[in-house]
């Protein structure tokens, strides 16, 4: 009696056929992709260029950043930072692309007579586009901005003497001390400068022991929070000898 035959080892024939077909399909797809690859790549490149060229000529609109230029003199200082501003620009795509390298500019003038807090309205007509851009501004956001500013002002105010005079024995003071200069220029915030009516010298005791006493005294700037020019003044005090009283004759 013949011995029984053992089953053949390995995958079934159907699975082998499926694997061979899959490998054949992969080879065909790879051949399709790589065949004339430089020509296909060139065609893709020119299609992209054509699409960009057509898009550049089509009218479109985009929000672009705007550079805010606030024009003011040295007496005006901004307390707040300027918020970001954008403009809705309508034009051809190739013109709008230029606005990413050369930003539109919005200029506003702030003079020294403005309030400490001001609100600036922003309009499309305030935005200047570069000269090489053929487009127009349709809208601006935000439509207004609020800013705090510090206004610096200067004016001359009189100087008052705060020295204390102590005449020596045998002398007396004639008249009031002479202050030179009799006024100084103060520079600071507009509110503080306008409230100031005069400045005073530092308090100091001066002995009068001659017919002319000449001293230099600084201006008292403590608490003023402003610049004073000149920072010191010269004070001249006139003195005289007391009259000698003779005893009456017997």
Q: pLDDT confidence of 246, banded at 50, 70, 90?
A: very low
Which residue blocks in the chain are alpha helix, DSSP H?
Answer: 13-34, 37-57, 93-98, 190-195
Q: Number of folded domains in the chain?
A: 2
Is 249 inside a domain boundary? no
Tens digit of pLDDT for each residue in 176-214? 889 999 999 999 988 899 999 999 999 989 888 888 888
Range of the domain at 170: 153-241
- Among 99, 114, 142, the domain-final residue is 142
Task: Count Cβ atoms below 10 Å from residue 167 Cβ, excluding itself.
Answer: 17
Give residue 139's pLDDT.
95
Is 248 inside a domain boundary? no
Is 197 inside a domain boundary? yes
Task: Give the predicted TM-score (pTM) of the model.
Answer: 0.55
Tens digit of pLDDT for each residue in 97-136? 889 889 999 998 888 888 888 899 999 999 999 999 889 9
Average per-residue pLDDT for the chain: 82
Q: How far from 116 is each of 17, 18, 22, 79, 146, CA to CA, in Å?
A: 87, 84, 79, 9, 11
* Per-residue pLDDT at 50 exceeds 90: no
CATH number of the domain at 132, please.
Answer: 2.170.120
- Among 142, 167, 187, the domain-final residue is 142
């Amino acid at each position: 009696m013949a011995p029984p035959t053992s089953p053949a080892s390995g995958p079934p024939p159907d699975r082998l056929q499926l694997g061979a077909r899959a490998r054949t399909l992969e080879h065909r797809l790879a051949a399709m992709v790589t065949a004339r690859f430089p020509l296909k790549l060139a065609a893709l490149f020119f299609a992209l260029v054509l699409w960009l060229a057509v898009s550049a000529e089509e009218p479109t609109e985009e929000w672009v950043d705007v550079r805010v230029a606030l024009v003011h003199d040295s007496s005006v200082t901004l307390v707040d930072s300027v918020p970001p501003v954008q403009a809705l620009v309508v034009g051809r795509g190739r013109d709008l692309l230029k606005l990413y390298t050369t930003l539109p500019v919005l200029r506003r003038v702030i003079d020294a007579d403005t309030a400490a807090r001001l609100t600036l309205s922003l309009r499309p007509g305030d935005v200047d586009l570069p000269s090489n851009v053929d487009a127009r501004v349709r809208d601006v956001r935000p439509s207004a901005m609020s800013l705090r500013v510090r206004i610096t002002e200067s004016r001359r105010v009189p100087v008052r003497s705060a020295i204390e005079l102590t005449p020596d024995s045998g002398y007396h003071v004639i008249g009031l001390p002479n202050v030179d200069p009799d006024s100084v220029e103060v520079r600071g915030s507009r509110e503080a400068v306008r409230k100031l009516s005069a400045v005073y010298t530092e308090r100091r005791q001066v002995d009068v022991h001659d017919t002319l006493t000449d001293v230099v005294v600084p201006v008292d700037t403590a608490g003023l929070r402003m610049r004073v020019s000149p920072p010191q003044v010269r004070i001249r005090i006139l003195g005289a000898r007391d009259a000698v009283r003779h005893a009456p004759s017997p």
